[in-house]
Amino acid sequence: MELDPEVLKQLAVIFQAELGEQAQVMIDGLLLLEKQPQQTNNEVITTIFRAAHNIKGAARGIGAQEVGDIAHRIETLFSLIQKKSLVVTSPLIDLCLDAVDKMRLATQAFIEHKDLSFDLQGLLAALDQKAILDTMYDIQNKPAAKQEMIEQKMEIEEGGENYESIRVALDKIDKVFSLMEEIQVNKISIEDYVISLNELNTKIKNYALKSKKDMNVLKAHVEKDYQEYIDKLQHLSQDFFGDLHYSSSHLEKNMRSRLNELSILTNSLQEEVRLLRLVPAASLLHILPRYVRDLSRSLNKNVEITIHGDEVKMDKLILESLKDPLMHIIRNAMDHGIETESTRLSLGKSPVGHIAIDVKEDANEIVITVSDDGAGIDLNQIASLAKSKHPAAAANIASMNEGQVLDFIFLPGFSTKEIITDVSGRGVGLDVVKTNLNKIKGSVNVVTKMGHGTAFNLRVPLTLSSERGMLVKAESQCFILTTHSIQRVLMLNPADIIEVEGNQAVLLDGNPIPFRVLANILNINQAKSLSHEVLPIVIAKNSWFSVAFLVDEIMGEREMVIKPLRAPLSSVPCLMGGSLLERNQVAMVIDTNELINRALHTEVIKHRTYQDEGKTVRVVPHILVVDDSITTRTLEKNILEGKDYKVSVAVNGKEAWELLQQHKYSLLITDISMPIMDGFTLTDKVKKNEKLHDLPVIIVTSLGSDAEKARGIEVGADAYIVKTEFESGELLNIVTQLV
């Protein structure tokens, strides 16, 4: 009997979750066997065999034949290993890991009713016992594809706890959480109504007193015959206002009582839902051993990872936000910090580098420490780079302590690498660590010791509850800045605005803070003369900078629930969501990080005196794109112009060199293989030219070998992108770093 299509669809989703669990069991076992291939671990082998067997049965049960065939071959292999007929080798581990990845791809194709994206028969042949014994299988996976596969989100089922449980899909919990947020929004609205009712009650009381006073005054100025009439009118008035005051007071009291009960229930519900969203840290951390293994091979280094505390439970949203920071820290440690085997041996170290992750719960926070035993961070090099790349931020570097100097590594575009490549940054540096942590109200600090290694300490809250925000007005529109991003609120005189190196600023504790008009940065008006007698100023901060923003009005602080924006509003700059105000009004919540970055880097103000009619001047970077392929030139030109860059093009290095003599450019993007003059020659000429040597150069090419990348470093390129791995987002990220 054929299953109902809807039932089959639900079974496929359940199978995908089960595959994720069983696949991770297999990966963990395979990595464990790889560490000690000569010491047969029967329990691990049996676990892998059983996982493959379970996948095979479940896959065939729902009709995912391709997945079942792969699992059957893995099951057969480990049956032979159990019988000592086959020896565990590194090629065998590679093959099985690749097969596990392919099972995931095959499952996704089955669910989406798509063709397989890989050669199934070739994989099955390689998994066959005879093929394993006679030949070696070439996996032919690109490093970037492997990395993407490793970085998939996978859910695991908790086990070993002695109570009844059911499996609940996380999207169901998310829906409950959304409903809870709606209750929270309504609770906040009721609080506003209670406040309004209290104000109304006060007005009634004051009006009653004023009415009585007015009646007494009137009574003293009229003839005696009218005084009795006024007494009756006054009595009726007092009865009316008395009853009204009693009713409104009674209503306010009852509403406040119910509001208190609702607050208790809402907080309890919020806590219970939060507990439902808790997942063990292992649900993220379990992907890291495989990630480290594959990255070690691509870097030709020998690195191991140990994880402690992965049983600690965390909010799922917080855990997901930690994925990119952890990946970047580990990649940075392996690429920059941990030395090659030969170097480590010469230093008297173990040839195997080591990364350790430790997760602990500390009061109301989770602390995650990522440490390595590599070369450490050279503070002098960091200080030198900071002075050259971020002179404004490094103005007081001589008086900074070690932690403050180390904070420079989190600045956008900061890197000690000679060139940006596929491993080193891929267009995004360690700034993603602080950016992501800021979004979840977390923090990071770094401890390092030259020659001994580096430790990153990440602190994040246990949960993401409702926020508090500062409501401000700009050009008659309401906006909200999260309270934790506000450093100070000031009321200043126009004379308090000073000029520092051509930029307007305000003094905060004796230090100049850049001054901007919020409406100008949000592009909701044109720059205009500022003639306020008193200027309402909100000083916003992120991990690196503070900016003083002029607003029209500061309307106060309030509790809020931030709702994320959906397309097309999700792409609007500087906005992170919306929050409901009283009378169903919506205020946009500002993304402080993006706002500050935009204020400091995107908009440049040409300043006169404060009373002058200022004008906002957009300085548009001019980029020269050089490529003999019209398709590539057009693609890159469209991508860059879509982000408001000014773009010129050239078809070869000679034409580009002539343009460079005639015009001033902010960035050069060049191919390598071109007629007349190639990209290497062009880059070399640019970097050796006295006037052009500071011009950033990005090489975008189909040539991706280590020798070609080394040549790119030699001629002085600032970034190297391989066309086969080209993504518009990657190009734009690198461009943002360099211009």
pLDDT score at 131: 47
Task: List, in sequence order, the alpha helices (H) in 390-452.
Answer: 402-406, 431-439
Nearest Cα to Cα of residue 282 among 27, 461, 48: 27
Higher pLDDT, 654 or 602: 654
- pLDDT tens digits, one per residue of 425-443: 433 467 778 878 877 878 8
pLDDT score at 141: 43
Q: Residue 359 belongs to what H/E stretch? A: strand 353-362
**Would you place residue 140 in the very low, low, confident or very high pLDDT band (cuts 50, 70, 90)?**
very low
Q: State percent of the chain over pLDDT 90.
A: 14
Half-sphere exposure of 254 (CA within 13 A, CB side): 6
Chain-wide mean pLDDT for the chain?
77
**Would you place residue 626 in the very low, low, confident or very high pLDDT band (cuts 50, 70, 90)?**
very high
Stretch 320-331: mean pLDDT: 88
**Would you place residue 330 in the very low, low, confident or very high pLDDT band (cuts 50, 70, 90)?**
very high
pLDDT score at 138: 44
In the predicted structure, residue 610 carries a pLDDT above the cut 50:
no
Q: What is the DSSP secondary structure assignment for residue 364, as one 8-state letter?
A: T
In the predicted structure, residue 640 carries a pLDDT above the cut 50:
yes
In the predicted structure, residue 347 carries a pLDDT above the cut 90:
yes
State the greatest distance between any 2 C-alpha atoms of the chain, in Å, as a whole number.
125
pLDDT score at 604: 43
**Would you place residue 556 in the very low, low, confident or very high pLDDT band (cuts 50, 70, 90)?**
confident
Nearest Cα to Cα of residue 28 among 291, 281, 210, 355: 291
Q: What is the DSSP secondary structure assignment for residue 552, as one 8-state letter?
A: S
In the predicted structure, residue 681 carries a pLDDT above the cut 80:
yes
Stretch 25-41: mean pLDDT: 78
- pLDDT tens digits, one per residue of 478-492: 898 888 788 888 888
* Tokens 């079974």 belong to residue: 11
Stretch 56-60: mean pLDDT: 82
- pLDDT tens digits, one per residue of 196-240: 788 887 877 787 777 777 777 776 766 666 666 667 776 777 767
Residue 720 CA to residue 712 CA, distance in Å, equals 7
Higher pLDDT, 433 or 347: 347
pLDDT score at 611: 39
Residue 14 CA to residue 18 CA, distance in Å, equals 6
CA angle 733, 738, 739 (to 5 degrees): 105
Contacts of residue 172, defined as CB under 8 A and 6 or more positions apart, other chains included, come to: none
- pLDDT tens digits, one per residue of 358-396: 999 887 789 999 999 999 988 888 887 777 666 555 556
pLDDT score at 616: 40
pLDDT score at 332: 87
Contacts of residue 700, defined as CB under 8 A and 6 or more positions apart, other chains included, come to: 627, 632, 636, 669, 670, 671, 721, 723, 726, 731
pLDDT score at 157: 32
Q: Which range in 1-5, 499-503, 679-683 is most confidently predicted, on average pLDDT?
A: 679-683
First-residue to last-residue Cα distance in the chain? 64
Residue 218 CA to residue 40 CA, distance in Å, equals 106
pLDDT score at 495: 79
In the predicted structure, residue 583 carries a pLDDT above the cut 80:
no
Q: Omega of the bond prior to 621 within 30 degrees of 0, cis? A: no
Q: Side chain identity at 402, as an amino acid letter?
A: E
- 72-76, 265-269, 353-357, 711-715, range with the lowest pLDDT: 265-269
Residue 645 CA to residue 102 CA, distance in Å, equals 41
* Tokens 């008009």 belong to residue: 517
**Would you place residue 158 in the very low, low, confident or very high pLDDT band (cuts 50, 70, 90)?**
very low
Q: Residue 445 belongs to what H/E stretch? A: strand 443-449
In the predicted structure, residue 422 carries a pLDDT above the cut 80:
no
CA distances from residue 302 to 10, 39, 76 in whole angstroms, order as listed: 43, 20, 31
What global pTM score does this model have?
0.55
Residue 33 CA to residue 37 CA, distance in Å, equals 5
